[in-house]
Amino acid sequence: MPALFDVPKRASKAQDIAIAKKANSKSKTATKTVKGGISGRIAEIKAMVETNLGKFKDDYIIIQEEHELHNYFVECVANNVIAIDTETTGLDPLQDQLVGVCIYTPSQPAAYIPLNHKSYITGAKSNNQLDMKIVREEFEKLLKYKLDIIMFNACFDIRVLRNGLGLKDIYCTWDCYLAGRLMNENEPHRGLKPLHQKYCLEGKGDAFSFDSLFNGITFDLIPINTGYLYAAHDAIITYELYEFQKPYLTPGNELCKEYELEDVAWVFKNIEMPCIKVVADMEDTGVDFDVEYCAKLSEKYGKIMDEKLQKFEELCSLYQTEIDTYRLKHIDSKLSNPINISSPTQIAILLYDVLKVPAVDKKSPRGTGEEILIKIADKEKGSTLSNLCNSILEYREVAKLISTYIDKMPECINPKDGRIHCKFNQYGADTGRFSSQDPNLQNIPSHNKDIRKMFKATDGYVLMSSDYSQQEPKVMTQMCGDPKMIDAYKHGKDLYAEIAALSFNTTYDNCLEFRPDGTTNPEGKARRSQAKSILLGVLYGRGVPSIAEQLNVPTKKAQAIKDSVFKGFPAIPQFEKDSLEMAYELGYVTTLWGRKRRLPDLQLDEFEFRWKDGYPKDDDPLDFELEFDETIGMPKPVEHEVPEDIQERYRKKLSKAYFSQKRAIFEQADKEGIKIVDNGAKIADAQRQCVNARIQGSAADMSKLAMIKVGNNKRLKELGFRLLIPVHDELIAECPKENAKEASELFAKLMSEAAEDKLHIPISCDVEITDRWYGEKVKV
């Protein structure tokens, strides 16, 4: 049996299994200019493939005849399973070409179906490749049997087969990448090949990678007789990884029970796997982009940036004497004329050398980052120096909008359909939350309405956005079970105002942001904001100093507010305590649906003690019975533990020491040949994650369940409804305008029902209909 864990038995139950990801590890790269000539590179690839995979020549096959493919699929049907992988010319399933398909089923050799290889000399299509129409028809017959289909990073291969082969009904029943992320989200090695080497070959095989060798050579230029070994190998190791994973994520299996993965198996089967198709649909659909509006924004913000620069230069001119004096004394100074506002080096010289600003950050005494400039501006509030720092921040903000969004987004438009297709990472965060990239549509600033308006509904359609109001607080209410919080939601009250009323011993109406006549209630707004900050501070693992900074009150005052909230709602601190105890006892915390977030750092000792050289300083390593290391031509010293009495002596010193005193203790230990590892920061970070991992993870599960219900609803499809972007607690979609009323009502209903099996608090979703993201509302 392979070594499943790199930790002792108890910790292994807490961490479960490590496995995961193929994502960008495959050799799917765009062609670049190749130094030394393509013939030489192809020769290198041939040699490397022969060296590493030549032994499989008689075990893997190339399918080049229709009857061969048909007979192979007959065996797949008999086994009721097939592993599928694809080879392409790049990473864009819409634009890049499908080069071949890799397949494997037990009792058969791994096989490769070449489709679009060509001569690297003439560019002509290579002979002896099956017609794509024939391959598509055979696959369509195969899919009717509803057999198990195994993939790794299935969303990519599904999209490639949809767009490259025309297989609209292709699906996956087991994604080894997602299975691995669920089995251990902390696994550092997420590529297919290293995972197979580690867990299927028990570390004895060679996790070879051709990625660097293929760099600059697209797979269509690799000769078939060489490429088939590399390609077919991917299919068989995908299947072998699946065989390793399957027992652990199969409810009722002894290994699934032993490693406490039955709830995780439920999440895999009922949340992650059904979500793949929805994600693939969104990535294929993309979102429409208003190029003309973007050009107007470019002109608008270009002028704003010029104004911000002019303001900065005018403020600098007030210090012209100091600047000129500095330049005279420092002829070789890097300070240009005018000062380059985009240069951190020149801004540092201006602040710390010219204007003699005292350092406000010990770790970065010459820093010019946002936080440091804000500190300087606040400290010098009302002064020219404060205005100068603010002008730099304002310029940077505008410059970032232009470079990151306004100028960047047009470059992301896919020339095939004129839309933007980002990559959604279904398991982007270790909590299970989505992320996105190329471009990141979940990070488009919400505070600036202009930027989001660049994304619009397809002509004839309208955009629909629906979000969960107070999703994470409602999840927390359910998980902590506080009757007063539950009652507030059941009676349609504002939870933050209710918490404020009970915490500060006043009426509910006195804690609302608005009075009954619609006017603002400043005192009520302040109380509500304080209660909200405390609750969100608990949710996001923020400490009292952070909450104090957000509330702009002294730390002592923030602590008093927190104490009041906790006194009125004791279930909240109890939930914090329970979550921390769960993590300490089990090594992980769980979501409402059973997803795990492993926090192994909680089980670390606060301080670890090691001999710097593996043995006591005054001992001679040759006195020990040592194993001879032939690679270095000398004995290897045996690791000897630091005696417990010495460890205890240092622990006592450290327990009473402040941060600055700890450094001196570490230095003293170093002189004795002892290295002390301080795990305090890691432990504290894990403690902060306990509650957030449970709440954010549950919210992620809830949003994915909503996506599955909405994305697969038959009636919504008939209405032409299409999901476009998930933004954590919000789903953005589009629909033909004439169907918008019915679609929006069904959209809201499905979202509100998605979590009713676990969340017993009223959930309502209001759908906003617009012509563009954050645009004017459209009447339907």
3-state secondary structure of 413: strand
**Residue 558 pLDDT greater than 80, yes or no:** yes
The closest of 441, 389, 81 to 283, measured between CA atoms, is: 441
**Is the N-terminal amide bond of 439 cis, ω within 30° of 0?**
yes
The string of DSSP letters for 220-233 reads GGS-HHHHHHHHHH
pLDDT tier, 19 (very low <50, low <70, confident <90, very high otherwise): very low
Nearest to 36 by CA among 213, 225, 227: 213
Tokens, residue 53: 């995979």
Distance from CA of residue 462 to its chain's centroid?
29
The rounded mean pLDDT for the chain is 90
d(CA 131, CA 115) in angstroms, rounded, equals 7
381: tokens are: 């509030």
**Segment among 94-108, 145-159, 501-515 with least mean pLDDT:** 501-515
Mean local confidence (pLDDT), 546-560: 86
CA-derived radius of gyration, the chain: 30
User: Which of 70-74, 202-206, 365-369, 489-493 is least confident?
Assistant: 202-206
Mean pLDDT (whole number) for 503-509 = 90
Q: How far apart are CA 58 and CA 503, in angstroms?
A: 75
> Which CATH homologous superfamily contains domain 9-22+29-280?
Ribonuclease H-like superfamily/Ribonuclease H (3.30.420.10)
User: Per residue in 387-432, pLDDT tens?
Assistant: 999 999 999 999 999 999 999 999 999 999 999 999 999 999 999 9
Instruction: Please say whether the dihedral angle defined by the alpha carbons of residues 265, 271, 274 and 277, taken in this order, is positive or negative.
Output: negative
pLDDT at 6: 35
Residue 777 is encoded by which pair of tokens?
């509302």
Mean pLDDT of 548-565: 87
**In the predicted model, what is the mean pLDDT of residues 71-82?**
98
Contact 245, 176 (CB under 8 A): yes
Please check whether residue 267 is in contact with residue 593, taking contact to mean a CB–CB distance below 8 angstroms: yes
Segment 592-649, tens digit of pLDDT = 999 999 999 999 999 999 988 776 766 554 444 556 666 555 555 555 789 999 999 9
Residue 24: predicted pLDDT: 36
Confidence of residue 687 (pLDDT cuts 50, 70, 90): very high
In angstroms, what CA-CA distances link 650 with 140, 302, 684?
A: 69, 59, 20
d(CA 391, CA 384): 10
Residue pair 401/301 in contact by the 8 Å Cβ criterion = yes
**What are 761's strand-pairing partners?**
none
For the chain, what is the total number of helices (H) and then of strands (E)? 30, 22
Strand partners, 607: 678
Contacts of 633 (CB under 8 A, 6+ apart): none
Q: List helix spans (H) across 518-658.
A: 522-539, 544-551, 555-568, 571-586, 644-655
**H/E element, 436:** strand 435-437
- The position carrying tokens 């195994």 is 150
Q: Could you state, in order of their start, the residue ranges of all structural domains in the chain? A: 9-22+29-280, 291-409, 483-569, 605-678
Cα(67)–Cα(87) distance, integer angstroms: 22
SS3 state at 609: strand
Asked which of 59-63, 105-109, 216-220 is least confident by mean pLDDT, the reply is 216-220
pLDDT, one tens digit per residue, over 443-482 is 998 888 899 999 999 999 999 999 998 999 999 999 999 9
pLDDT computed for residue 332 by the predictor: 87
Cα-to-chain-centroid distance, residue 46: 36
Confidence of residue 36 (pLDDT cuts 50, 70, 90): low
Please give the pLDDT value at position 212: 66
Tell me the two tokens of residue 369: 């980052």
According to the model, what pLDDT value does residue 80 have? Answer: 98
pLDDT at 45 over 90: no
* Structure tokens that stand for 601 in this block: 């750092």
Whole-number Å distance between alpha carbons of 283 and 340: 41
User: Stretch 655-659: mean pLDDT, rounded?
Assistant: 87
Residue 131 pLDDT more than 50?
yes
For residues 201 and 190, what is the distance between their CA atoms, to the nearest angstrom?
A: 16
- Mean pLDDT within 214-242: 93
**Do residues 131 and 450 lie in contact, with contact meaning Cβ atoms separated by under 8 Å?**
no
How far is the C-alpha of 691 from the C-alpha of 576, rounded, in Å? Answer: 6
Query: Whole-angstrom Cα distance, residue 190 to residue 670?
Result: 36
Encoded tokens for 276: 């793949």
Question: Between 3.40.50, 3.30.70, 1.20.1060, 1.10.3470, what CATH number should domain 291-409 receive?
Answer: 1.20.1060
**In this prediction, what percent of the chain has a pLDDT beyond 70?**
91
Task: Please give the order of strands across the beta sheet that includes 413-414.
Answer: 413-414, 419-420, 287-289, 455-456
Give the pLDDT of residue 626.
54
